[in-house]
């Protein structure tokens, strides 16, 4: 036989041998690893292969500082998170990607190789990352009424977050803020479901992709906090707060009419996850509310992603012990448990609950099925590691992204008063600028920026309002340090950073330093533009008469020059109030549509400048 024939025969024999071996050992590629197989088939195949320990591991989320990659592997952990301000040191994109890959390699080395989801609060840009583009907080985005802009913001947030490996954001918050004394008012788009209907779907499309891809350059998003977080009653706060984590007492009809529409939009947009609220509804903690989580969210509304707790949220369930808290939360229909530090206890107690029959295997399978479905949809099995090409593109904090954030600042500004058309200012003016928030990047970013609570000072890369104004001036225009040299005063007042219940505030008054500056300007008789940088309306009724112009700037983020763009008339004001601006807090809460609605400025109010002058 010629040599050629021997070669062909040998190859044929080799192929038959390999197939034979595979046939005997069953070492074919399992369906769940076949990227071409339908997702539901991959889910069922993988689920059928999992042990109880592997399933419970998938339901567990631990904080990055409380778990090692080895433990992620040993306990089959389904997710790791960065809590507010939790970042590797140094806090660089490269270090984030290395950290993420370290956890992911461990997860992929488990028997079944199930990748983790890595979650972080990218609530106004990738705000845990130094140098990232920081957008206006949601209340300012509500003032823009611009869904197309929000989709671009979501897209940029996804790019800058995904470049660091993190593939899941705990945003958007779709709270409907009905009481601005709540410290999380700024995380809401505003006080009506109208704003949720207008903005939530677009934002999620930007984050997850127009077809809820959730993979590649997109993220898995989270609609939060389910349900009714913005509707609690003042004085019922939990965890020592005044209203945050409090009790929502409204009727189910009002709950559905006011607080549910954001979730309907999120589900329509294909949101991957929904986070449960700390608050109670009619006296029952949401973290054990089976009717709203299972009957309404999952069954009635058909939500097919997965439900996650808030930070140690199950520990606030009023049960006699941790075991009962776990049982009640799992049986309520929650699928993944943010137990950042106590994740071992969670695993131990849930395994015990299944053995005892207090939690059924069916409930475990429902939770794991949902988690796996999101992971397959997000392409994690097929591309588990940080995309270094994204990192190499140097997108984080790039000029193009900052330009969009600057546009968002412009569109978020609301002009509330403009006596004698003081605005727009001439660029040739001599301007006296003062106030606690005139030149403070940390204050204009607010909470959830670099640290959980945020803080004053040069906390990251950006431009302060003062820097933006100074850059816009033209000779002989300049900043002056004495009022008697000034044509006009710009006084930027407001709040210092805070997050969650730390920001609960029953007075909402200006601080003494700002009041002192305002008095000095009034005494000097200089025309004054007041800009309020805050997470919500402040009580200024008695001061307003002394001000020629008033601008609500909310929490603009890093691109403070967007304020100057409008102050000098390069752009006009287009923002509209996303919340009612009350005269005082005596007869409060006061929301659009209430009887005897008599605010200082109405929801939806906003002036424009006469740019012809
Ligand atoms: C916080 C917040 C929630 C956030 C989570 C993780 O307590 O309530 O909005 O996503 O913990 O940081």
Which residue's C-alpha comes closest to atom 11 of ligand 1? 311
224 within ligand 1 shell (Cβ under 6 A)? yes
Q: Are residues 18 and 42 in the same domain?
A: no
Q: Are residues 185 and 53 in the same domain?
A: yes
363 within ligand 1 shell (Cβ under 6 A)? no
Confirm whether 289 is domain-assigned.
yes
Q: Which atom of ligand 1 is nearest to the CA of 225?
A: 9
Q: Which of 392, 423, 449 is the last residue of a domain?
A: 392
172 within ligand 1 shell (Cβ under 6 A)? no
How many domains does the structure of the chain reveal? Answer: 3
**Nearest Cα to 567, choosing from 444, 404, 409?**
409
**Nearest Cα to 312, choosing from 22, 24, 60?**
60
d(CA 95, CA 174): 31
Q: Are residues 19 and 88 in the same domain?
A: no
Per-residue model confidence (pLDDT) at position 468? 98
Q: Are residues 3 and 45 in the same domain?
A: no
Mark whether 160 is an active-site residue. Answer: no
For 340, the 3-state DSSP assignment is: coil
Cβ burial of 35 (10 Å; 0-12, 13-18, 19+) is: exposed
* 8 A C-beta contact, residue 316 and residue 287: yes
Active-site position among 54, 121, 288, 310: 310
Per-residue model confidence (pLDDT) at position 22? 43
Identify the CATH number of the domain in which residue 313 sits.
3.20.20.300
312 within ligand 1 shell (Cβ under 6 A)? no
Confirm whether 397 is domain-assigned.
no
Q: At what angle do helices 361-377 and 322-332 cross, to 10 degrees?
A: 60
Mark whether 310 is an active-site residue. Answer: yes
Provide the total of helices (H) and of strands (E) in the chain, helices listed first: 20, 17
Q: Are residues 323 and 430 in the same domain?
A: no
* 8 A C-beta contact, residue 535 and residue 498: yes
121 within ligand 1 shell (Cβ under 6 A)? yes
Per-residue model confidence (pLDDT) at position 19? 42
d(CA 160, CA 170): 15
452 within ligand 1 shell (Cβ under 6 A)? no
Per-residue model confidence (pLDDT) at position 4? 52
Q: How far is the CA of 175 from the centre of ligand 1 (A)?
A: 13
**Tokens read off for 530:** 């007041």
Confirm whether 400 is domain-assigned.
no
Identify the CATH number of the domain in which residue 525 sits.
3.40.50.1700
Per-residue model confidence (pLDDT) at position 8? 53
Cβ burial of 530 (10 Å; 0-12, 13-18, 19+) is: buried
Q: Output the 3-class SS for 237-272.
A: CCCCCCCCCCEECCCHHHHHHHHCHHHHHHHHCCCC
φ, ψ of residue 415 in degrees (nearest 5): -85, 115
Which residue's C-alpha comes closest to atom 7 of ligand 1? 311
Per-residue model confidence (pLDDT) at position 18? 44
Per-residue model confidence (pLDDT) at position 27? 62
Per-residue model confidence (pLDDT) at position 28? 83
Q: What angle do CA 377, 303, 251 make, to 5 degrees?
A: 155
Active-site position among 500, 504, 514, 565: 500
Q: Are residues 506 and 385 in the same domain?
A: no
* Residues in the chain with pLDDT values less than 50: 1-2, 15-25
For residue 307, give its domain range. Answer: 35-392
160 within ligand 1 shell (Cβ under 6 A)? no
Q: Which of 63, 66, 121, 246 to mutate to test the pocket of ligand 1 (most atoms within 8 A of CB)?
A: 121
* 8 A C-beta contact, residue 552 and residue 414: yes
């Amino acid at each position: 036989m010629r040599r050629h024939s021997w070669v062909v025969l040998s190859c044929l024999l080799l192929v038959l041998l390999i197939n034979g071996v595979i046939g005997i050992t069953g070492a074919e590629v399992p369906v769940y690893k076949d990227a071409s197989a339908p997702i539901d088939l991959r889910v069922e195949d993988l689920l059928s292969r999992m042990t109880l320990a592997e399933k419970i591991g998938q339901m567990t989320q631990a904080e990055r500082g409380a778990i090692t990659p080895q433990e992620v592997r040993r306990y089959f952990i389904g997710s790791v998170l960065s809590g507010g301000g939790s970042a590797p040191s140094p806090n660089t994109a490269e270090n984030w990607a290395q950290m993420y890959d370290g956890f992911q390699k461990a997860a992929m080395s488990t028997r079944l190789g199930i990748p983790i989801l890595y979650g972080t609060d990218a609530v106004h840009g990738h705000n845990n990352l130094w140098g990232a583009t920081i957008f206006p907080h949601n209340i300012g985005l509500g003032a823009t009424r611009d869904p197309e802009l929000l989709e671009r913001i979501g897209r940029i947030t996804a790019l800058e977050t995904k470049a660091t490996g993190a593939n899941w954001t705990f945003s958007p918050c779709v709270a409907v803020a009905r009481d601005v004394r709540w410290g999380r008012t700024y995380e809401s788009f505003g006080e009506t479901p109208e704003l949720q209907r207008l903005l939530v779907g677009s934002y999620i499309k930007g984050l997850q992709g127009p077809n809820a891809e959730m993979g590649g350059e997109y993220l898995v998003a989270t609609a939060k906090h389910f349900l009714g977080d913005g509707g609690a009653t003042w004085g019922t706060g939990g965890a020592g707060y005044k209203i945050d984590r409090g009790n929502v007492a409204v009727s189910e009809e009002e709950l559905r009419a006011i607080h549910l529409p954001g979730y309907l939009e999120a589900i329509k947009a294909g949101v991957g996850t929904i986070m449960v609220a700390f608050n109670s509804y009619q006296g029952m903690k949401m973290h054990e509310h089976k009717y709203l989580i299972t009957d309404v969210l999952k069954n009635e509304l058909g939500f097919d992603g997965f439900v996650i707790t808030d930070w140690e949220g199950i520990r606030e369930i009023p049960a006699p012990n941790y075991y009962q808290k776990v049982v009640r939360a799992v049986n309520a229909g929650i699928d993944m448990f943010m137990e950042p530090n106590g994740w071992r206890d969670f695993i131990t107690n849930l395994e015990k609950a299944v053995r005892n029959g207090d939690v059924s295997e069916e409930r475990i399978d429902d939770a794991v099925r949902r988690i796996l479905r999101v992971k397959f949809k997000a392409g994690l099995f097929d591309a588990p590691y940080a995309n270094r090409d994204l990192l190499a593109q140097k997108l984080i904090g790039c000029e193009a992204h900052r330009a969009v954030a600057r546009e968002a600042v412009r569109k978020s500004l609301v002009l509330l008063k403009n006596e004698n058309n003081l605005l727009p200012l001439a660029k040739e003016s001599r301007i006296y600028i003062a106030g606690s928030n005139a030149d403070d990047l940390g204050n204009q970013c607010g909470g959830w920026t670099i640290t959980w609570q945020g803080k004053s000072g040069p906390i990251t890369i950006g431009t302060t309002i003062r820097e933006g104004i100074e850059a816009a001036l033209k000779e002989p225009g300049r900043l002056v340090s004495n009022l008697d040299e000034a044509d006009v005063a710009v006084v930027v007042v407001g709040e210092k950073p805070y997050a969650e219940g730390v920001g609960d505030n029953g007075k909402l008054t200006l601080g003494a330093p700002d009041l002192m500056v305002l008095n000095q300007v009034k005494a000097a008789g200089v025309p004054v533009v007041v800009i309020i940088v805050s997470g919500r309306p402040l009580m200024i009724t008695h001061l307003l008469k002394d001000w020629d112009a008033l601008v609500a700037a909310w929490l603009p983020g890093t691109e403070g020059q967007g304020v100057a763009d409008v102050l000098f008339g390069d752009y006009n004001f287009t923002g509209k109030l996303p919340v009612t601006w009350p005269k005082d807090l005596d007869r409060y809460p006061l929301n659009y549509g209430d009887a005897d609605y008599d605010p200082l400025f109405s929801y939806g109010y906003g002036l424009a400048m006469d740019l012809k002058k």
